Structure 1
Amino acid sequence: MSAASSASTGGPPAVPHLDVDPFAVAFFTDPFPTHDVLRDAGTVVYLDKWNVYGVARYAEVHAVLNDPATFCSSRGVGLSDFKKEKPWRPQSLILEADPPAHTRTRAVLSRVLSPTVMKQVRDRFAAAAEERVDVLLGKRSFDAIPDLAEAYPLSIFPDALGLKPEGREHLIPYASLVFNAFGPPNQLRQDAIERSAPHQAYIAAQCQRENLAPGGFGACIHARVDEGEITATEAPLLVRSLLSAGLDTTVNGIGAAVYCLARFPDQWQRLRDDPTLARNAFEEAVRFESPVQTFFRTTTREVELGGAVIGEGEKVLMFLGAANRDPRRWDEPDAYDITRRTSGHVGFGSGIHMCVGQLVARLEGEVILSALARRIARIEITGEPKRRFNNTLRGLDSLPITITPA
């Protein structure tokens, strides 16, 4: 891995050029040494492999996330520039939109998933967590990804959304597809899009008003059409945003938390001693593992960032995972500490585009970790963990564990 600076002609400092591929399987396997290289090379770097700028330090990532007028989302939050090529699916009205359009649609989802609504569903989510722990205690040994990280959100979120029971096996593959598609035209992206037809067809059908149960999150979104807040065309696209945002962050966040707590038994004991730390244990796992690793923005004008000048129409890749372990921002960033003050981490993004499913993810993460901490004495990893490779998401495919009842 080499870093070569372009020639300086006075004025702004040259931006270091790196031969890093952040979408290679070798990088996904262990991104942390490369994160060090990216952060240490400069405030802004240039990645020759994909002809994009990159920011890996916390200050610059936070700055990009919080300046949507300069670093826009409507031209795509992946490598594709929607000004130059057609999106592979209709654009997201949330993730791939800028104000003022984004402001209106985001307000609808914020009301549907408000803190008040989360309080109303909390007991239901907590009861489902207890039921899942009952099942796991019956097994003792199981794979924490399909049997816990996926099984718990799938047991509660699709019902809360109002989905029919049939076809839910498409939900996780669809979310995986969406996040692979943000990457470059590599094998992961091509394979995901080639296999996408049945998943896309299922999602498109489930997002229609007539297929959603009354009283669910999905029906609440469609009800906003009657109020004149959104159009009948926009409503299914907003339900679609909720489908991917409400599952992938939660599945990978819970998987990350269990993986952390199994690797750091002192932190597990701390959580057992004080289950009210469950929310923070989940939050710290999101910082520590960063289930969403990267997102792109596109510059709307020439801009100076961290002393470097970036021209208009350039793609900027934000390394959220690197920012979340930047020693310039965090004390002992490579330590998993459930008592850490995690506020400010960018695991769910920051600013107007913060993950729309974050309240759901936090609620589910808190209640499942709390249920586990109260009823399980030990978590032991009993087999080789396997990664699930994705252009944007960091998570496990398999985590064999054995639990000891409290």
Structure 2
Amino acid sequence: MTITHYEAEKTSTPKTVTVDPSVPRVEIDPFSIAYFADPHPAQEQLREAGPVIWIEQWQCYAVARYAEVHAVLHDPLTFCSSRGVGLSDFAKEKPWRPQSIILEADPPAHTRTRAVLSRVLSPAVMKTLRDRFTAAAEAKVDELLSRGRFDAIADFAEAYPLSVFPDALGLKPDGREHLLPYASLVFNAFGPPNELRQTAIERSAPHRAYVEAQCQRENLAPGGFGACIHAQADEGKIAHDEAPLLVRSLLSAGLDTTVNGLGAAIYCLARYPEQFDRLRADVSLARNAFEEAVRYESPVQTFFRTTTRDVELSGITIPEGQKVLMFLGAANRDPRRWENADSYDVTRRTSGHVGFGSGIHMCVGQLVARLEGEVVLSTLARKVKNIAISGPIERRFNNTLRGLERLPVTFTAT
């Protein structure tokens, strides 16, 4: 079975692999600019091609339906992360940076490091941040209401997390301009060796140097997430040389996905004013409105796993040592799982979406993102009557993330 070809980047492709003829071969390139610009028609084709498919462009297996994506995410012993969650196979090539000890780790090593972050980012800790995050959200919305027209990405979706998260982490004020480029770099590097990945890595040196320095204990303010991670090393929960790597993981996981999640939420509420009216009528829907935006737009679109053995998935045998590409965005709009999957509905029961992943590798920054999303949308619901798109939007292209570069909007006060 062959699916319509989408424009591919001019890059090298991996060595051809012999694949069972029963596996549908798909000629869509899910890492091309044409695909990124409008992925939903292609994602429908990917889902309907079969439960397990073969991506010709990058010579890897893939799953795009919710059931199979969920199954892969929940079987970390068979579909491992330690060989890389991008197309690169760490068993065959050196990682571009020191390997993550949580995102790119398997049990039991992952269990130990994940437990540390679960303590540092517990629901109890999130409660202590709520008042500070809410006050910052109210101040930001008041400022933007006074301006009326602004860019919802740079002035809101980026500016708000940058006003609260680095302080919560304990970063020094200087050099924070490296944070967003570093996070974008990390997610671009999960993709194949296309121009986006190669350019990001080539330009990475100053961002990597900044982040490496900021993750050291002496550069982190007392009481922040970073200092708390280092304190866990003092208690013997992790080694002292592991602490900076965990701080680094939190830094990249806690910012870019939140930025794109907030951007998605504002974009959805502007496009679907009837849904914003529902939210304004019932502010308790703020958390759900954010979750639905994450499901609907899927800021994190894809991740890879590698098989540790021959495994049968939905009647297809995937050999050991094969990369499996999970289309999280396609799964989040799978009509087999979601009724009216292509509609944004703030009252939808969103439980089970894979916008933050699922299983043991669920996004380590999810609680921070959800707190920020909830306080921002509840503040909008109380203070803003209308959100209108006031100019042309621009999309930001990234191998893993889906988001906007520019979203001009106008806020009207209640």
User: Which TM-score applies when normalising by structure 2?
Assistant: 0.95
CA drift at 1:13: 7.8
CA drift at 1:2: 3.2
Gaps of 5+ in 2: 5-18
Give 2:131's aligned residue.
123
Task: Tell me the amino acid that sits aligned with residue 116 of structure 2.
Answer: V
Give 1:170's aligned residue.
178
Give 2:284's aligned residue.
276
Task: Tell me the amino acid that sits aligned with residue 239 of structure 2.
Answer: T
Give 1:337's aligned residue.
345
Task: Tell me the amino acid that sits aligned with residue 42 of structure 1.
Answer: G
1:57 aligns with 2:53: no
Equivalent-residue separation in structure 2 for 1:186 and 1:338 (angstroms):
37
Give 2:255's aligned residue.
247
**Aligned mate of 2:354, from 346, 349, 362:** 346
Give 1:93's aligned residue.
101
SS at match of 1:379: strand
Give 1:301's aligned residue.
309
Equivalence map 1:2-401=2 (5 Å): 2-3=2-3, 14-401=22-409
SS at match of 2:392: coil
Give 2:8's aligned residue.
none
CA contact (8 A) 1:13 1:307 kept: no
Equivalent-residue separation in structure 2 for 1:195 and 1:374 (angstroms):
42
Task: Tell me the amino acid that sits aligned with residue 259 of structure 1.
Answer: Y
Deviates most, 66-75 or 124-133: 124-133
Task: Tell me the amino acid that sits aligned with residue 195 of structure 1.
Answer: R
CA contact (8 A) 2:3 2:28 kept: no
CA contact (8 A) 2:100 2:245 kept: yes
SS at match of 2:312: strand
Could you give the per-residue CA deviations for residues 34-61 of structure 1, whole angstroms, max 9, x where no partner exists? 1110110100000110000010000000
Equivalent-residue separation in structure 2 for 1:2 and 1:25 (angstroms):
20
Gaps of 5+ in 1: none
Equivalent-residue separation in structure 1 for 2:145 and 2:353 (angstroms):
33
CA drift at 1:3: 3.5
Task: Tell me the amino acid that sits aligned with residue 192 of structure 1.
Answer: A
Equivalent-residue separation in structure 2 for 1:170 and 1:278 (angstroms):
30
CA contact (8 A) 2:2 2:24 kept: no
CA drift at 1:248: 1.0
CA contact (8 A) 2:168 2:225 kept: yes
SS at match of 1:338: coil
CA root-mean-square deviation: 1.2
Could you give the per-residue CA deviations for residues 336-395 of structure 1, whole angstroms, max 9, x where no partner exists? 000000000000000000000000000000001111110011000011111000000000
Equivalent-residue separation in structure 1 for 2:84 and 2:176 (angstroms):
27
Task: Tell me the amino acid that sits aligned with residue 178 of structure 1.
Answer: V
